[in-house]
């Protein structure tokens, strides 16, 4: 018999799923998703500890490196990709290793997740350092590609974080920080793209967002380090400057123009009534933290 994993178990309440009407199927799937949120809530303390330790490494110039296969790998790639437009996090400091390579984003690569050598080699190619943070994600908690990468990362002194949906699995014993998202069996048995995947998305979103807040990428609850790369985001940047400073639309727009669209810089210019050069100096002195730049004498 294969090794038992709760995520692979047959759900006891949905043996007749294929006989239900569409509305009932939708209801079953949605109701089951609530358990994803509950699983992440239970993992809150573990996520907080991981975020705190990760922030310390990243403040020293380290990189976030996500490692996964299949759905888990794609979710890691999504989280990494969104950090740059949301928080101006340098793309070279948010990397993803996906079993089978980037081609596996749209098409499954058979056997890639079982390739331990590839996991090790792929991470080795990034030359991991003690300031790096390597996040391994796998619903099963046993994916060889992910485990091999995390083992090498730990050997090289990087902070390692493991996120898995089955208790007692290697991915929760190999890394420094273990995050269990105990979601149990799926409505469609074994399809961990369902609530297991949902819980991973929530956990990754929560982890990376907490890290960015800790690193000063947020002022209050305002997203002040965004990259305004389109009209919608330019309008959002303008609103953020107005909200943060109480400035008029005209003054906020002028400050943003002088600051080349950099929201934090415009906020410090208006909030302290200083020049562009002085605002940039204050932000550099305080490591890009807008609140410190605003409050310091």
d(CA 234, CA 206): 25
Q: What is the dihedral of CA 42, 81, 196, 154, to 10 degrees?
A: -70
pLDDT in tens, 130-181: 999 999 999 999 999 999 999 999 999 999 999 999 999 999 999 999 999 9
Q: Are residues 46 and 128 in the same domain?
A: yes
Residues 234-241, mean pLDDT to the nearest whole number:
95
Is residue 135 within 8 Å of 66, Cβ to Cβ?
yes
Q: What is the dihedral of CA 196, 197, 202, 205, to 10 degrees?
A: 140
Q: How many domains does the chain have?
A: 2
Identify the weakest region by mean pLDDT among 102-111, 115-124, 191-200, 249-258.
102-111
Share of the chain above pLDDT 70, in %: 99
Q: Does 280 qualify as catalytic in the annotation?
A: no
Residues 41-51, mean pLDDT to the nearest whole number:
98
Q: Which of 8, 56, 82, 278 is catalytic?
A: 82
CATH of residue 240's domain is 1.10.8.1080
Reported as a pLDDT band with limits 50, 70 and 90, residue 1 is very low
Average pLDDT over all residues of the chain: 94
Residue 136 belongs to a domain: yes
Last residue of a domain, one of 214, 244, 271: 214
Residues 25-54, mean pLDDT to the nearest whole number:
97
Residue 53 belongs to a domain: yes
Q: Are residues 252 and 196 in the same domain?
A: no
How many helices (H) and strands (E) are present in the chain, helices listed first? 11, 5
Residue 29 belongs to a domain: yes
Residues 55-68, mean pLDDT to the nearest whole number:
97
Reported as a pLDDT band with limits 50, 70 and 90, residue 14 is confident
Q: Are residues 133 and 204 in the same domain?
A: yes
Q: Which of 113, 151, 186, 280 is catalytic?
A: 113
* pLDDT over 50 at 281, yes or no: yes
Last residue of a domain, one of 187, 214, 241: 214
Q: Are residues 27 and 121 in the same domain?
A: yes
Range of the domain at 260: 231-295
Q: Does 113 qualify as catalytic in the annotation?
A: yes
Reported as a pLDDT band with limits 50, 70 and 90, residue 104 is confident
Comparison of pLDDT for 11 and 167, the residue scoring more: 167
Closest CA to 163 of 61, 39, 34, 62: 39
- Which strand ranges, in their side-by-side order, compose the sheet holding 94-98? 94-98, 64-68, 133-138, 159-164, 177-180
| First-to-last C-alpha distance (Å) of the chain | 68
Residue 225 belongs to a domain: no
* 203 phi and psi angles, rounded to 5 deg: -65, -45
Q: Are residues 262 and 194 in the same domain?
A: no
Comparison of pLDDT for 8 and 167, the residue scoring more: 167
Q: Are residues 190 and 240 in the same domain?
A: no
Q: Are residues 95 and 138 in the same domain?
A: yes
d(CA 162, CA 157): 15
Residue 88 belongs to a domain: yes
């Amino acid at each position: 018999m294969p090794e038992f994993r709760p995520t692979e178990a047959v759900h006891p309440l949905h043996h007749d799923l294929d006989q239900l009407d569409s509305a009932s199927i939708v209801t079953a799937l949605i109701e089951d998703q609530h358990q994803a949120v509950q699983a992440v809530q239970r993992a809150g303390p573990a996520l907080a500890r991981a975020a705190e330790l990760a922030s310390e490494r990243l403040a020293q110039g380290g990189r976030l490196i996500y490692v996964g296969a299949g759905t888990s790998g794609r979710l890691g790639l999504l989280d990494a990709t969104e950090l740059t437009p949301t928080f101006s996090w340098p793309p070279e400091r948010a990397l993803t290793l996906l079993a089978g390579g980037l081609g596996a984003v749209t098409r499954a690569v058979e056997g890639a997740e079982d390739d331990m050598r590839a996991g090790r080699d792929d991470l080795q190619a990034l030359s991991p350092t003690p300031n790096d943070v390597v996040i391994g994600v796998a619903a099963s908690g046993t994916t060889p590609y992910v485990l091999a990468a995390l083992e090498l990362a730990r050997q090289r002194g990087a902070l390692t974080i493991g996120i898995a949906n089955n208790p007692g699995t290697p991915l929760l014993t190999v890394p420094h920080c273990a995050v269990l998202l105990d979601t149990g069996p799926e409505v469609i048995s074994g399809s961990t793209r369902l609530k297991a995947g949902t819980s991973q998305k929530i956990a990754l979103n929560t982890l990376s967002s907490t890290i960015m807040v800790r690193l000063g990428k947020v002022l209050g609850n305002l997203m002040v380090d965004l990259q305004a790369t389109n009209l919608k985001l330019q309008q959002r940047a303008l609103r953020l400057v107005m909200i943060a400073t109480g400035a008029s639309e005209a003054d906020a727009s002028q400050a943003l123009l002088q600051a080349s669209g950099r929201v934090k810089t415009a906020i410090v210019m208006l909030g302290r009534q200083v020049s562009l050069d002085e605002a940039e100096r204050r932000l550099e002195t305080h490591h890009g933290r807008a609140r410190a730049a605003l409050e310091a004498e």
